[in-house]
Amino acid sequence: MDDLRPILYGVSDYAQIRRKNGWFIDRTAKIRDLEATAFALFLRPRRFGKSLFLSILEAYYDIDYADRFEELFSGTDIGKDPTDEHNTYLVLPFDFSAIKKNPGESLDSFNLHVCGRIDAFVEHYAPRFPEGKFQKVLDVRDSTAKLDALFNAIRGTNAKVYVFIDEYDNFTNTILAESGMEAYNDLCHGDGFFKQFFTSLKMMTTAIDAPVKRIFITGVSPVTMDDVTSGFNIGTNISLLPQFADLTGFRHDDLRAIADYYAPRCGFDAEKAYDTAVRWYDNYRFGSASAPTLANTTTVLSFFNYLWQTKEFPPDLIDENLRTDYAKIRHLVTAGRRLNGNFHILENLVAGGCLSERLVKSFQARELSNSENFTSLLYWLGITTITGERRGKTVFGIPNETLKELAAKMIPDAYADIHRIDERVFAINDGLVDFSYDGKWMPFVGILARIVGENFAVRDSVDGEKVVQSTLVALLTAAGGPYFVKHERESGGGFYDIALAPQLSRWPGIAHAALIEMKYVKAGDPVPASGVLEKIRSDAIGQLDRYSADPALVREWCVGNGVTLHRLVLVFHGGDCILSEEV
């Protein structure tokens, strides 16, 4: 076991991973394709391996790493056949995830970071230049002025500079989500310091004797770049190009390899681990519906790191860092303590399973009220992925169980911003856990019904059935617990409304599952008379008969083999639950 390759979870330093022989997926062949683009913008969701790939590029191109090329790249694809440009650049790296997210502190934090990186660049490469060459650069303490001073010092020296900017929009996205449009505009428009920085950077690429020959920028969405540069007009957004679809992330064969390597050495079930990783972290596609499916790098490593160290499956399959990242987004779906149009898009996604819009490659923050743009933002953030194409539009769906839970959590979180329900989500969780062992469903259904009624009253939507559906699905999913909350899945020749499918691999003691058929009567219609209500009930029972008899469902949920299936009918008149019954 001493030679077991470690999983260096959270480590994005390529040199350290190689030195410790950490688990590493070789994507260095992509470097050859990248050299066709001098100034590149690469966008992927958070924690998708962008920082590690950028670290690989730094090690590959930095002139001062030339004597370590064999150490760092032996055995890799690019190491066997390197390009002529390897180890020929002065490297200037920035990491904007370090910038403080409070608008009142961001300017000073940005100046400190940029000036510190430029000073480190000067100190590192000064021996290659005449003495005193950079003294004026060191004396400047404003980020944009310092960048200009560096440009003036290097121009005409024949030095080639490669600029790397990691997580370029990390702090601006947070400011937009949490502090609002005005604070965001102060950074990215007019004389905003962030816009001025990119203006100066552009000058370092276009003027006579310009020293910056290459730029590689990583980020999450195109929004900030469009605001500060009018669409990165000096370079190319390579994020949707097919040759870079799998530049980062784990393919299916990568997941299989990591499961097969660690399982026999650490004592866990390889097939179960692989299936869990696919279900919870996989199925992202970037660029088109024909692109390979990929898994989130960091969440996969977090999962296998836990297995490696404990030989047990983690009790919570969602990386806590990912929860934190996505918790911010709920602020984009509320305005003035009301739910806006963006909320309804998210709600439809959770309730209906997919969205169909044109994938927008570039748009500004002030254009997020446009449904097409917000739908695309959900894709760029990794909340949705490309699942198909329909009549010239892209079809977006939720990629995996992790994002299904995180997306659904945004709905009760947004409700909590305008009408407090958050503490009752914990009560729903308690009810689901109790139900899984004792089969008593009325406590958690009662809480759901009360919350639906309260929030139906404050909704500004006329699509009442969708409101009820999405609220039920979102609350059940956000509550967590021992069930996969499934919605509109095919079974018995139809599509059931909601299912509480037991997670038997994680909670083998579950003894109960549920199929829920929800019926809806418009709020403006009369309360159904007893005969009408009985007809609604009868129709629901007929549907449940078909769904519950599906052999695949019976087999997968172990119905009759340790698990009792409860068939529930819920009838809503507007936001009022007028019938809840097990049939």
**Half-sphere exposure of residue 103, counting CA atoms within 13 Å on the CB side?**
16
Within a domain: 477: yes
For the chain, count helices (H), then strands (E): 24, 15
State the pLDDT at residue 481: 81
Average pLDDT over residues 534-539: 95
Question: With 80 as the cut, is the pLDDT of residue 395 above it?
Answer: yes
Identify the band that residue 410 occupies on the pLDDT scale cut at 50, 70 and 90.
confident
Identify the band that residue 277 occupies on the pLDDT scale cut at 50, 70 and 90.
very high
Question: With 60 as the cut, is the pLDDT of residue 334 above it?
Answer: no
Q: Which of 52-56, 175-179, 280-284 has the lowest mean pLDDT?
A: 175-179
Beta bridge partners of 577: 572
Question: With 50 as the cut, is the pLDDT of residue 1 above it?
Answer: no
Within a domain: 325: no
Identify the band that residue 362 occupies on the pLDDT scale cut at 50, 70 and 90.
confident
CA gap 146, 119 in Å, rounded? 9
Identify the band that residue 332 occupies on the pLDDT scale cut at 50, 70 and 90.
low
Phi, psi of 4 (to 5 degrees): -65, 130
Average pLDDT over residues 198-210: 87
Phi-psi region of 249 (alpha: psi -120 to 50; beta: other; left: phi over 0): left
Look at strands 338-339 and 212-219 and give their pairing.
Answer: unpaired
Question: With 80 as the cut, is the pLDDT of residue 18 above it?
Answer: yes
CB 554 within 8 A of CB 503: no
Residue whose tokens read 């400047």: 140
Q: How many residues does the chain have?
A: 583
Look at strands 494-502 and 512-521 and give their pairing.
Answer: antiparallel
Tokens of 5: 């390759």
Q: How many domains does the chain have?
A: 2
Closest CA to 386 of 526, 476, 496, 292: 292
User: Which of 202, 228, 244 is at the close of a domain?
Assistant: 244
Within a domain: 271: no
- Domain span at residue 194? 26-244
Tokens of 371: 């449904």
Within a domain: 202: yes
Closest CA to 106 of 169, 43, 41: 169
* Residue 327 identity (one-letter amino acid): A
Question: With 80 as the cut, is the pLDDT of residue 571 above it?
Answer: yes
53-71: pLDDT as tens digits: 999 999 999 999 999 999 9
User: Which of 244, 270, 299 is at the close of a domain?
Assistant: 244
CA gap 294, 312 in Å, rounded? 24
Within a domain: 552: yes
Helix (H) or strand (E) holding 372: helix 371-381
Helix (H) or strand (E) holding 487: strand 483-491
Contacts of 583 (CB under 8 A, 6+ apart): 537, 540, 541, 544, 567, 568, 569
CA distance readout (Å), 406 to 119, 186, 398, 463, 513: 41, 30, 10, 23, 22
Which of the 8 DSSP states describes residue 80?
A: H
Considering the chain, what is the average pLDDT of its residues? 89
Within a domain: 355: no
With both helix axes pointing from N to C terminus, report the angle between 103-125 and 143-154 in degrees, rounded to the nearest 10: 20
State the pLDDT at residue 293: 96
Q: Give the other-Cβ count within 10 Å of 359's Cβ.
A: 17
Instruction: Please state the three-class secondary structure of 287-304 as a single string.
Output: CCCCCCCEECHHHHHHHH
Within a domain: 138: yes
Within a domain: 351: no
- CATH number where 172 lies: 3.40.50
User: Which of 183, 212, 244 is at the close of a domain?
Assistant: 244
State the pLDDT at residue 507: 86
Contacts of 498 (CB under 8 A, 6+ apart): 472, 473, 476, 485, 486, 487, 515, 516, 518
CA gap 54, 317 in Å, rounded? 27
Neighbour order of strands in the sheet with 494-502: 483-491, 494-502, 512-521, 564-573, 576-582
Question: With 60 as the cut, is the pLDDT of residue 335 above it?
Answer: no
DSSP alpha helices (H): ranges in 480-518?
A: none
Average pLDDT over residues 193-208: 89
